[in-house]
Every structure is written in structure tokens, then in C-alpha cells.
């Protein structure tokens, strides 16, 4: 019944997160080997190029992302998706390193950044009572992309050329993503309040401005945990070829393990949405980094090909919980009135983390620090950050109980 009543908005958000895949690391990294061969780049050199392009997109996101607060979502889509399609064509036929860098910058800004930003900002603003469920369904577009697009890309690349696969992506954006998502978001949704206790709860959530959020110490504490999944997840997917090589894992096993991860992610995204609607997102915060810590430690240890499935199950749990949680936590903590401006800063920071991952780890690999060693450090960071975020969670709950004046 919930999906039937809200199909157009859930479907629109799903489409946006699905097509954001063209700017996500798991998709872009599928062409790294070809670009390295064409432009004669090492792991570290391409990692720094990727980092530069992604950092530039992170700098632009707070400026571009705040437009979601002042421009209707469907008009934003009319600009962003065609521009993203142009970026995919640039990535396919880049004649120089400079053009390739610009293409990756646009892919990261418009795909990973803006399409996801539009989807989660609109969903967070349009849903109150069942926000966790709505976000958990919308973010499944990410998993849908991870489960289908690498296989389609690999099929087109093996049958034709990697450039044809990018051209097919541009066509899909223009012929499927653009018209359907515009139709879905053409009519905004009005939040409903069916439960008086829920309405009273929402009335105590003050609508913070972006300037107030940036002055809130707890915001920066939360970022220590929020930035871990994009940094570590991007690192793992970016170095997928390196990891399979040092562990002698067959490429077929890796591709199959991605499907296992996608299924696990879907299950735990939906589960986390239910838990958020029942207990609130702020109470889930202390636990969401623990599966990621386990992922790092297990992956760092290497092992037989079967161990890869254990890694992907743990990573799927982490991805499912964090994707839903991080879509629901911000309107719960800071209100929905200025959500576009607030999330643009958060998305910018997360994109920055995805930029730092390949650049930093690739450089360390070039200098003799193995990726398994780096993953051990990352796992330890997740454990420490979990303690810090748990403290912040208690402070947020205390602050919410004492706040009774709506803005």
C-alpha cells in the first residue's frame, strides 16, 4: 500500500540513484585499465588524476547543490541528466588527459553528486512519518546499478569496445532516465501526518540553517563516522583489480560476489529503514560502522576465493545500513526547510572522501605500503569512530528532548 500510494516519488528517486551509477567509482573504475593504457599512467598517477577531478567536484557541490532549495526538482533534472550524458561521451572519446580529467569531474559532480543529492533531498523533504522506508527504497537504485551495470558494461566491452559501453550509457540517460524521472518529480509530494505522537515529535525538530549547522560541533563529530563508508568503499572498488590480483581471485568469482553484495545490501537497506521508522535514525548511529570495520579486517587477511563472499556480505550489510541511515539522519536532526543547502555540504564532504581514497591509497601503494595493511588501519579507524559517534548520538537525543520550540 505504501509503495502504491507513493509510487511516482519512490520510482523517481530510484531512477535518479540508479543513473547516478555513471558517476560512481564502481562504474568509472571499470575503464581505468583502458585509460591507463591509452595515456600511459601508473596506479598512483591515475589515482591522483581521479582525486583531482573528484576534489574539484566536491568544491563545486555546496554551490550547485543549494539550488535544490530554490529550483523545482524536475527542472534540476532537465539540466543535470543531459549534462551527465555529455560527460559520458567525453569519457569515451577523451583525446587528452586534460579532457579525461574534465569528463571525470563532470561524472562525479553530476552523477555521484547531484543525482543522488536531488533524490535524497526530495525524499527527506517529502516524507515525514515513513521517511526511513522511503529512503530505503530510493537508495536501492544504487544497488540496482551495482548489480546490473557492471555486467552490461563488461558485455558491451567484450563484444565491441569500452567506448561503445559509455555511448550506450549516454543513450540510456537521455531515453530512459530523463523522461521518466522528470515525470515522477513533476508533481511534488506533500508530507502527511497520521499519528499525533509523530506530529509532536516532528514539531520539536528545529529547522537549522546551513550556517547554524556548520557551527554545530556535533555536526563535525558525525562527519568522522559519515565519511568512513565513502572513503573505504571507494578504495575497495577502485582497487578491485589489484585486490583480485594479489589474492589470485578469479575475475568470475569477483563478479559473482558483487551480486551477493547487492542482494545483501538491498535486504539490510530495507531492514534499516524499518528500524529507523521504529526507533529513529539517531539511535542507529552507534552501530552502522561495525560491519564496515569487519569488512576491512576480513579483506586485509586475504584467503581463498570463497572468502570474497564473506567480504561482500559484510560490505553489503554496511552499505545497506549506511545508505539508508545517511539519507534519513539529516532531516531528523536538522529539519527539512534548508535540507538542500545542508546536504550539499555533506555530499561535498563525502565526495571529498571518495576522492581522497584512490589518491591516498594509490600513492601509498606506489611507496610500498600494501593495501591489506591500509585496510587494517581503516578497520581500526571504524572502531574508534563508532565510539565517538555513539557519544554524539547520546548528545543528539538529549538535545532533542530539551528542544520544544519549533522554528
Closest CA to 27 of 194, 134, 152, 198: 152
Q: How much is the mean pLDDT over the chain?
A: 86
Asked whether the predicted pLDDT for residue 407 surpasses 70, the reply is: no
Coil vs helix vs strand at 207:
coil
Q: Does 116 fall in a domain?
A: yes
Closest CA to 189 of 125, 99, 106: 125
Q: Does 360 fall in a domain?
A: yes
Q: Does 197 fall in a domain?
A: no
**Residue 404 confidence (pLDDT):** 44
Asked whether the predicted pLDDT for residue 203 surpasses 60, the reply is: no
Strands, DSSP E only, in 96-197? none
Spatial separation of the C-alpha atoms in residues 188 and 347, rounded to whole Å = 22
**Residue 22 confidence (pLDDT):** 93
Domain of 78: which CATH number? 1.20.1250.20
Spatial separation of the C-alpha atoms in residues 136 and 78, rounded to whole Å = 25
Instruction: Count how many domains the chain has.
Output: 1
Q: Does 199 fall in a domain?
A: no
Q: How does pLDDT run across 227-286, given as a tens digit for each residue? A: 999 899 888 877 877 788 888 888 778 778 878 888 898 899 889 888 888 888 888 888
**Residue 205 confidence (pLDDT):** 67
Q: Supply the pTM of this predicted model.
A: 0.78
Asked whether the predicted pLDDT for residue 201 surpasses 50, the reply is: no
**Residue 195 confidence (pLDDT):** 43
Spatial separation of the C-alpha atoms in residues 291 and 205, rounded to whole Å = 30
Q: How confident is the model at residue 384 (pLDDT cuts 50, 70, 90)?
A: very high
Neighbours of 102 (CB within 10 A): 17
Arithmetic mean of pLDDT, 48-56: 85
Q: Does 383 fall in a domain?
A: yes
Arithmetic mean of pLDDT, 91-106: 94
Arithmetic mean of pLDDT, 3-28: 90
Asked whether the predicted pLDDT for residue 197 surpasses 50, the reply is: no
Coil vs helix vs strand at 248:
coil
**Structural domain range at position 161:** 2-186+208-401
Helix (H) / strand (E) containing 93? none
| Residue position matching grid coordinates 535540507 | 339
Say if residue 250 is exposed, middle or buried (CB neighbours under 10 Å; 0-12, 13-18, 19+): exposed
The pLDDT > 70 percentage for the chain reads: 95
Spatial separation of the C-alpha atoms in residues 283 and 276, rounded to whole Å = 8
Q: How confident is the model at residue 192 (pLDDT cuts 50, 70, 90)?
A: low
Q: What cell numbers appear for 402 in the block? A: 530539551
Q: Does 193 fall in a domain?
A: no
Q: How does pLDDT run across 325-370, given as a tens digit for each residue? A: 888 888 888 887 788 888 888 888 887 887 778 778 888 888 888 8
**Residue 345 confidence (pLDDT):** 87
Spatial separation of the C-alpha atoms in residues 280 and 282, rounded to whole Å = 6
Q: Does 95 fall in a domain?
A: yes
Q: How confident is the model at residue 402 (pLDDT cuts 50, 70, 90)?
A: low
Arithmetic mean of pLDDT, 115-137: 86
Q: How confident is the model at residue 204 (pLDDT cuts 50, 70, 90)?
A: low
Mention every residue, 6+ apart, whose C-beta is less than 8 A from residue 50: 28, 104, 238, 355, 358, 359
**Residue 20 confidence (pLDDT):** 94
Arithmetic mean of pLDDT, 389-399: 88
**Residue 54 confidence (pLDDT):** 83
Q: How confident is the model at residue 1 (pLDDT cuts 50, 70, 90)?
A: confident
Lowest-confidence pick of 15-19, 209-213, 378-382: 209-213
Mention every residue, 6+ apart, whose C-beta is less than 8 A from residue 247: 302, 303, 305, 308
Quickly list DSSP for 303-357.
--TTHHHHHHHHHHHHHHHHHHHHHHHHHHHH-STTHHHHHHHHHHHHHHHHHHH
**Residue 405 confidence (pLDDT):** 44
Q: How confident is the model at residue 21 (pLDDT cuts 50, 70, 90)?
A: very high
Q: What cell numbers appear for 347 in the block? A: 555530499
Give a three-class secondary structure readout of 366-405.
Answer: HCCCCHHHHHHHHHHHHHHHHHHHHHHHHHHHHHHHHCCC
The pLDDT > 90 percentage for the chain reads: 32
Asked whether the predicted pLDDT for residue 139 surpasses 70, the reply is: yes
Q: Does 196 fall in a domain?
A: no
Q: How does pLDDT run across 273-322, given as a tens digit for each residue? A: 888 888 888 888 889 899 999 999 999 888 888 888 998 999 999 988 88
Q: How confident is the model at residue 10 (pLDDT cuts 50, 70, 90)?
A: very high
Lowest-confidence pick of 213-222, 256-265, 282-291, 386-395: 256-265
Q: What cell numbers appear for 56 in the block? A: 574539484
Amino acid at each position: 500500500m505504501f509503495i502504491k500510494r507513493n509510487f511516482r516519488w519512490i520510482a523517481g528517486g530510484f531512477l535518479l540513484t540508479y543513473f547516478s551509477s555513471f558517476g560512481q567509482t564502481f562504474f568509472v573504475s571499470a575503464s581505468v585499465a583502458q585509460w591507463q593504457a591509452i595515456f600511459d599512467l601508473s596506479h598512483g598517477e591515475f589515482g591522483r588524476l581521479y582525486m583531482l577531478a573528484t576534489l574539484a567536484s566536491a568544491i563545486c557541490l555546496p554551490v550547485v547543490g543549494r539550488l535544490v532549495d530554490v529550483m523545482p526538482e524536475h527542472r534540476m533534472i532537465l539540466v543535470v541528466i543531459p549534462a551527465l550524458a555529455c560527460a559520458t561521451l567525453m569519457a569515451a572519446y577523451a583525446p587528452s588527459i586534460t579532457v579525461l580529467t574534465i569528463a571525470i569531474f563532470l561524472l562525479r559532480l553530476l552523477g555521484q553528486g547531484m543525482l543522488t543529492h536531488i533524490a535524497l533531498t526530495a525524499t527527506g523533504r517529502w516524507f515525514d512519518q515513513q521517511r526511513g522506508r522511503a529512503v530505503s527504497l530510493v537508495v536501492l537504485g544504487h544497488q540496482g546499478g551495482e548489480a546490473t551495470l557492471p555486467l552490461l558494461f563488461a558485455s558491451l566491452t567484450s563484444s565491441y569496445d569500452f567506448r561503445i559501453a559509455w555511448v550506450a550509457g549516454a543513450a540510456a540517460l537521455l531515453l530512459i532516465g530523463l523522461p521518466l524521472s522528470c515525470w515522477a518529480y513533476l508533481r511534488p509530494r506533500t508530507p502527511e501526518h497520521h499519528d499525533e505522537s509523530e506530529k509532536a515529535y516532528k514539531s520539536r525538530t528545529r529547522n537549522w540553517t546551513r550556517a547554524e549547522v556548520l557551527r554545530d560541533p556535533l555536526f563535525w563529530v558525525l562527519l568522522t563516522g559519515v565519511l568512513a563508508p565513502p572513503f573505504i568503499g571507494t578504495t575497495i572498488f577502485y582497487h578491485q583489480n589489484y585486490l583480485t590480483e594479489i589474492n589470485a581471485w578469479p575475475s568470475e568469482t569477483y563478479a559473482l560476489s558483487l551480486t551477493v553484495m547487492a542482494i545483501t545490501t538491498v535486504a539490510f537497506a530495507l531492514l534499516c529503514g524499518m528500524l529507523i521508522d521504529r526507533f529513529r535514525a539517531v539511535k542507529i548511529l552507534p552501530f552502522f560502522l561495525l560491519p564496515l570495520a569487519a569488512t576491512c579486517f576480513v579483506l586485509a587477511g586475504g584467503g581463498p576465493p570463497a572468502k570474497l563472499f564473506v567480504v561482500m556480505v559484510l560490505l553489503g550489510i554496511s552499505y545497506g545500513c549506511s545508505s539508508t541511515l545517511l539519507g534519513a539522519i539529516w532531516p531528523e536532526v536538522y529539519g527539512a526547510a534548508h535540507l538542500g543547502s545542508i546536504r550539499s555540504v555533506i555530499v561535498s564532504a563525502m565526495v571529498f572522501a571518495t576522492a581522497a581514497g584512490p589518491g591516498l591509497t594509490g600513492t601509498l601503494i606506489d611507496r610500498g605500503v600494501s593495501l591489506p595493511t591500509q585496510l587494517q588501519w581503516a578497520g581500526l579507524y571504524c572502531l574508534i569512530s563508532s565510539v565517538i559517534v555513539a557519544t554524539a548520538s547520546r548528545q543528539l537525543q538529549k538535545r532533542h528532548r530539551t528542544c520544544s520550540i519549533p522554528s
